[in-house]
Amino acid sequence: MTYPWSWYVDAEVLRAEEERIFTRSWHYVGHTGELGRSGDHFTRTLGRTPIVVTRAEDDELRALVNVCRHRGCIVAEGSGNRSTLQCPYHAWTYALDGTLRAAPRADFDVSEVALLPVRLERWGPFLFANADVDAAPLAEALGTVPDEIADCGIEIHALRFHHRAEWTVGSNWKIACENFLECYHCPVAHKTFSALVDVSPEAYRLESRGLVSSQYGPLRDNGRAAYDATGDVRRSQFHFLFPSTAVNVFPGRPNLSIGTFDPDGADRTRRVLDYFFAPDTDEEWIKELLAFDDEVGREDTLLVERVQRGVASGAVTRGLLLTDAEQLVAHFQTLLREALARD
């Protein structure tokens, strides 16, 4: 059985998830190419927690809670390059390492105040943040994913950022994640994908280890492809780091996309995907792969939005899970239950 479908629509459940899960977990937030120069910064959110990621004068990368220590105003918006971060409310001004530089009419020692720190670690060019400063290292959370990406023929340090895709899906974040975690629906909903990748139970492998759930799909013998799938990468890999980060690799030339499922209310999810390719990859090949990926994404959007309408109806209280085909969904739900049960 699944957990209650009321969990997909209840704002109080979402608040508990944001407090007990999203503020205590590693999330992909961006890449080092966004912070190439001293003064570069960008903003993100970890559940309800706004953060700003910076490259300070000392050349260190940092993540900070993006909330002014004075009256709680959001300090930075968007991204850019500047020597300080100034709150628009009362002009409290912070260095990019988070220390307070100036506060008009301050009657205290400004050196004793700073933006709160957030854990920031990296896997190659990929930056991850965790609002829990006492969290276990990122490497422990990722497990074998970096080795598996390397073993399939991808050198992540050699990849070049291509573009970021951002969109919103009309479903609870858990529905979107659970859809990503199974290919039981692929033969029905993803005809083009299933013509390329062998999604049969005998070939399509599922594994879960710790916080990671992984799917491996080999090329189908004599399969039909919407793009040229020949190249060093001979099988697809789709990894998911609980609770919100997805890593995708398609067959063909070296490619990788990485991004998150971020809750935007109980019935909406913000999706972000950053796409990376080998520097010598032909732009026409990239265009064809992106069209293929976009088709799969649009098909998934239609599915999860239909699921949201169904579970929100209240007509059925919970669903069923197949032990084998949906084992990663079950793993996800177990991790979620355990996280919510923690004090």
Digit-by-digit pLDDT tens for the chain (343 residues) are 788 999 999 999 999 999 999 999 999 999 999 999 999 999 999 999 999 999 999 999 999 999 999 999 999 999 999 999 999 999 999 999 999 999 999 999 999 999 999 999 999 999 999 999 999 999 999 999 999 999 999 999 999 999 999 999 999 999 999 999 999 999 999 999 999 999 999 999 999 999 999 999 999 887 677 889 999 998 999 999 999 999 999 999 999 999 999 999 999 999 999 999 999 999 999 999 999 999 999 999 999 999 999 999 999 999 999 999 999 999 999 999 999 998 6
Domain check: are 224 and 336 in the same one? yes
Query: Tokens 């910064």 appear where?
Result: 41
| Contact status, residue 125 vs residue 162, Cβ threshold 8 Å | no
Instruction: Write down which residue in 134, 163, 182 finishes a domain.
Output: 134
Domain ranges, residue 98: 32-134
Which residues make beta-bridge pairs with 41? 54, 80
Indicate whether 13 belongs to any domain: no
In this structure, are 98 and 234 located in the same domain?
no
Residues 161 and 181 in one domain: yes
Q: CATH number of the domain that 285 lies in? A: 3.90.380.10
pLDDT at position 343, please? 66
Would you say residue 164 lies in a domain? Answer: yes
Query: What pLDDT shows up at residue 23?
Result: 94
The whole-angstrom separation of Cα 134 and Cα 25 is 11
Q: Which two tokens stand for residue 313?
A: 């109806």
One domain for residues 127 and 196? no
Distance between CA atoms of residues 121 and 65, nearest Å: 15
184 and 87 in a common domain: no
* Residues 313 and 204 placed together within one structural domain of the fold: yes
Inside any domain, residue 10: no
Residues 67/284, Cβ–Cβ less than 8 Å = no
3-class DSSP assignment, residue 127: strand
Of 86, 103, 134, the domain-final residue:
134
User: Nearest CA to 66 among 35, 36, 88, 34?
Assistant: 88
Residue 71 lies in a domain: yes
pLDDT of the residue at 342:
83
Residue 57: which CATH number? 2.102.10.10
Residue 256: the pLDDT is 98
The 10s digit of each residue's pLDDT in 200-239 is: 999 999 999 999 999 999 998 876 778 899 999 989 999 9
Rounded Cα–Cα distance for residues 265 and 10 (Å): 9
Domain count, the chain: 2
pLDDT of res. 187: 95
| 109 and 226 together in one domain | no
Whether 96 is in a domain gets the answer yes
Per-residue model confidence (pLDDT) at position 1: 74
| Same-domain pairing of 331 and 186 | yes
Residue 22 lies in a domain: no
Nearest residue to 216 (alpha-carbon basis) of 239, 236, 196, 195: 236
* End-of-domain residue from the set 91, 106, 134: 134
The reply to whether 168 and 274 lie within a common domain is yes
Strands 126-130 and 255-263: unpaired
Domain-embedded: residue 271: yes
Q: Give the global pTM.
A: 0.96
Q: How far apart are CA 96 and CA 99, in angstroms?
A: 7
Instruction: Tell me if 18 is assigned to some domain.
Output: no
Considering the domain architecture, whether residues 123 and 185 belong to the same structural domain is answered as no
What pLDDT score does 70 carry?
A: 97
**CA angle centred on 79, ends 73 and 80, rounded to 5°:** 115
* Whether residue 130 sits in one domain with residue 108: yes
Pair 152, 297 in one domain = yes
